[in-house]
Chains A and B, each alone.
Chain A
Amino acid sequence: MRSPHVLWAVVPVVAFLSTPFLPFVNGPHLWFGIPSVLAWCLLWTAGTTASLALVEHFARHTDEGDEDDSVMRDAYEEAAA
């Protein structure tokens, strides 16, 4: 069974790789007093935590102890797919 929520993890990757191709980012602009490229990357670094937290929230977990191995195998298979 594939979970579409894994796709949340793709969002920051796309954001990072698109950095040089976004004119509103890749220019001599300052956001919050720092270069827009740096601000964009810092924002999406924080966004990575948000996206992974979303994936985690929607993931099927039964691991209250330390044995979540089968769950993680499923998560890996879903992500790989």
Chain B
Amino acid sequence: MNTTMAITLIGIVTIAVVGMTGRRPGRGEFSEWTVGKRKFSTFTTWFLQAGEAFTTFSFLGLAGIAFGGGVAAAFALCYLAINFILQYFTAPRMRELGRKGGYLTQADFFTDRFRSPLLGKVVAVVGAVFLLPYLQLQITGLGLIVQLATGSRTGGNLSMVLATVLTVAFVLWSGIRGIARVAYLKDALMIVGLVVLIVGVALSVNGGIGGLFETVRDSQPNLLTFHQEGYDATFFVTAVIISGLGGGLGTMAHLWPPVLAAGSGRALRKNAIWLPLYQIALGIPVIVGFAGILLVKQGSAPNAVALTLAGQTLPGWLVGVVAVAAASAAMVPSAAIVVGISSLLSRNLLSVGNERTQLRTNHICVIGAATLALVLGLTRPGLLADLLLLTYGGLTQLAPAIVMGLAKKVRLDAVPALLGILTGVGVLIWLTFGGVDVGTFDTGLIALVLNVAVTAVAQTVLRSRSVAPVPAEAN
């Protein structure tokens, strides 16, 4: 076992141990496990919310897009900022409703606001199905990180298993408090990892960062504009809109517990104001991706660029530090996603007994979801990769109903909301797998437009029927 591998494994175990320390002695209730006592400080909520912005995508995907598509990678900065703008308005309202209605999950919101357990169940299924590939993405991303850092495929697979088992362990033991505890460590590691990466790149490129971009401008000027195949202006605008709406309107179930656990709406507003500044750090992987254009062999796998560069420019022990940082960026979102999936299944879909029974059922769902994602990630990665194409666009189909449900008076009925969601998801599946060519236009946005149209028409029809004069014979 080389130094990098040893540091990586020690790091993964340390992250889990820190997560274990988050547990508070209690009566083992589901609400405590999911949202604590709804008194999380601004500080804790900050790290829980920031945790979702820095994922394996930050290390692998963003640098990969910059490597292949140049400045189009900046779309991540834009949609995350829009997420926070929307969250400034929506998150405190979600928390308010959650506190009054006792929500523990996103589906609780649908059940309560639309007075429809059926809608809650449908949302639980949609949420769980579309989040599973997202969980698998984090797990396989972690494996890829370790594989690239250590050069060992076996080590990568071993790390996937180890990290999944340890993540499940600390999530079961500590719940959201464990995730919060790990989130502190993860963000510290992320900052260190990103700084190490950018310094390594700056020292390796002739002329530093400035020299890097001058060379790219002179040799491949198209990479500095939206004139790339697959990464044009249409891609940029539609991807920013759909991802901005998706994150900002709480369409992903695992984003709800941190919001519901916040101690005040004020804490959520403060975080929405200041978290965009934190996202500026995402400029680093974009720059690293550009460095890959000069330093990494053309034709390399885009997702491998950041860690390949780390391997080329840093000593082994520092690559280990970067790998641990990247691994933590997989483990924290994985933990949050597992909580999101399991709570939807145990509380909303299965709807079993009291809180204690729910907690036991929930723990089984945690193990089941994580095992399924891990096994499919190891054996059939293509299966969930196909489903991942639907994750963001699919979950955003919940946005219209969420917007209407957040209003003081809900002016949308459950049936139109349900029809809209099913239409959106159906259209998205057809566009994605039906061979329909929409160019670089985001399919999720097309589905969302039709979703809104169907919802509006169904609501109008329903209302017109309900206010229609009652037939004389019925009186």
Residues of A within 8 A of B (CB): 9, 12-13, 16-17, 19-21, 26-30, 33-38, 41-42, 44-46, 48-49, 51-53, 55-56, 61, 63, 65-69, 71-73, 75-77, 79-80
Contact = CB atoms under 8 A, between A and B. Distances in A.
Contact of A27 (B85, B100, B224): B224
Interface in B229-285: 232-233, 236-237, 240-241, 244, 263-266, 269, 272-274, 276-277, 279-280, 283
A34 B265 CA distance: 37
Q: For the complex, would chain A's binding face be called helix, strand, loop or mixed by DSSP majority? A: helix
A75 B92 CA distance: 9
Contacts of B263: 66
A38 to B, nearest CB: 5
Contact of A28 (B224, B264, B283): B224
A13 B82 contact: yes
Q: How large is the interface on B (under 10, 10 to 19, 20 to 34, 35 or more residues)?
A: 35 or more
Contact of B71 (A37, A52, A79): A37
Contacts of B74: 19, 37-38, 41
B410 interface: no
Nearest to B237: A17
B320 to A, nearest CB: 29
B287 A66 contact: no
B76 to A, nearest CB: 9
Contact of B90 (A17, A27, A76): A76
A17 to B, nearest CB: 6
Contacts of A65: 264
A80 B237 CA distance: 22
A38 B283 contact: yes
B240 A17 contact: yes
A29 B225 CA distance: 9
A11 B82 CA distance: 11
Given A20-B233, A30-B213, A80-B406, 4 more contacts: A16-B82, A30-B214, A48-B84, A76-B406
Nearest to B409: A77
A76 B89 contact: yes
A36 B71 CA distance: 9
Nearest to A68: B265
B224 A52 contact: no
Contacts of A17: 78, 237, 240-241
B170 to A, nearest CB: 28
A28 B221 contact: yes
Given A66-B264, A66-B266, A52 B403 contact: no
20 contacts: A26-B225, A26-B226, A27-B224, A33-B209, A33-B213, A35-B70, A37-B71, A38-B286, A41-B77, A42-B77, A45-B80, A45-B280, A48-B81, A49-B273, A49-B274, A52-B88, A52-B272, A63-B264, A63-B266, A76-B89
